[in-house]
Amino acid sequence: MDLRQLEILQAIAETGSFTGSGRKLHVSQSAISRQILLLEEELSEPLFLRIGRQVKMTPTGEALLQLSHRIFDDLKDTVGAITNRTGELRGTLRLAGGMTVCIYVFPPLLRQFRRTHQHAEVRVSAGLSEKSLQELRAGTADCGLLTLPIDEPDFVTIPVLKEELLLVTAPNHPFARRRRIVPADLSGQPFVLFEAGSNTRRVIDAFFLRSGIEPTIVMDTENAEIIKAMIRAGIGISILPYLAIAREVRSGQLFCARIQDEELVRQTGWVYPRTNRVPRIVQEALRSFEAIRDQLRLSPPASLMRPHVAAQPERRGRPLKP
């Protein structure tokens, strides 16, 4: 058994087929099949059940897959420890996050990271929290900046942002002329919302439930840019974090308001596998984030809000007080 065979095993588990793993590793399918056959002969146990063109891992294969993750994690930790001693950070930082984080947080973070670590590579994966957690478990991502809560004992979670969620409409919407907006005003309005199942959507759905609102949802998507385009086109209204709309609100392309007597917020935090030692590349990612956190706009300035609202200074980076 060697590391290349374990790498092939991981690739098959990730792609679901020998053909897919061959494409991922840039080797022929016959070479993949040969290495798996050698492993099965060595262990005297099948590793996969062949079902058409797909394969399903046997319990023996699952056990070997978990072993492979531990081996590669130990290898990465050892290389990281050596790198720590030499002082120069190399390798690839693999970040995972939701679409909003990837658009509005990761660019300044990675700019700061590359400024400090010129020889390190970066890779970003966007998707819902469940997809990011799968990547973290599989070892294809080092850390994620995800909407909380993440209730998984095998992960470390560090809350770092508390973002205000605001009602967002086109500037010519009737709401933009009102001095106050209460929950009952939202009944019957068409909504374009974040995708069902996301933690942000759960915050919004909980607000609808306690307010007795049955929203008319015309579209849901994980992409905040699509939501904003739909709002500008007059398709519907939404509830979005200020971080995603700050530029358009300041330029007058969108209108935002707080909903009276409601504090809608979402928490975002770093998530990474719980290990004996936090890899240096993860530590450096967190350090780069701290360097740019105060640049992030999390709440609107008083000048953009209605007179009836108890306005607060525009918040950048530091979380709202609970």
Instruction: Domain ranges for the chain, please list them.
Output: 3-81, 93-322
pLDDT in tens, 48-89: 887 776 788 899 989 998 988 888 877 877 766 665 555 678
pLDDT at position 318 is: 56
Which tops the pLDDT comparison, 90 or 224?
Answer: 224
Which tops the pLDDT comparison, 308 or 51?
Answer: 51
**Mean pLDDT for the stretch of residues 207-219:** 95
Q: Residue 319's pLDDT band (boundaries 50, 70, 90)?
A: very low
pLDDT in tens, 270-305: 999 998 889 999 999 999 999 999 999 888 877 666
SS3 59: helix
Q: C-alpha 202: how far from its chain's center?
A: 15
pLDDT at position 299 is: 85
Closest CA to 159 of 65, 53, 302, 293: 293
pLDDT at position 80 is: 64
For the whole model, what pTM was predicted? Answer: 0.69
Pick the CATH number of 93-322 from 3.40.50.10090, 3.40.50.300, 3.40.190.290, 3.30.70.660: 3.40.190.290
Task: Give the list of residues 6+ apart from residue 271 with CB closer than 8 angstroms, or none.
Answer: 132, 133, 136, 143, 144, 145, 146, 150, 155, 156, 157, 158
Question: What is the amino acid identity at position 267?
Answer: Q
| Fold match, 3-81 / 93-322 | no
pLDDT at position 136 is: 94
Beta strands in the chain (DSSP E): 48-51, 54-57, 92-97, 121-126, 143-147, 155-169, 190-194, 216-221, 238-241, 255-257, 265-273, 297-299, 315-316
**Mean pLDDT for the stretch of residues 143-159:** 95
| CATH 1.10.10.10, domain 3-81, yes or no | yes
Whether 12 shows a pLDDT value over 80: the answer reads yes
- The single residue listed with the structure tokens 């936090």 is 278
Whether 314 shows a pLDDT value over 70: the answer reads no
Whether 311 shows a pLDDT value over 50: the answer reads no
Mean of all residue pLDDT scores within the chain: 88
Return the minimum-mean-pLDDT range out of 19-33, 193-207, 213-227. Answer: 19-33
Closest CA to 274 of 180, 136, 177, 145: 136
Task: Give the list of residues 6+ apart from residue 279 with CB closer than 8 angstroms, or none.
Answer: 76, 77, 80, 142
pLDDT at position 250 is: 92
Share of the chain above pLDDT 70, in %: 90
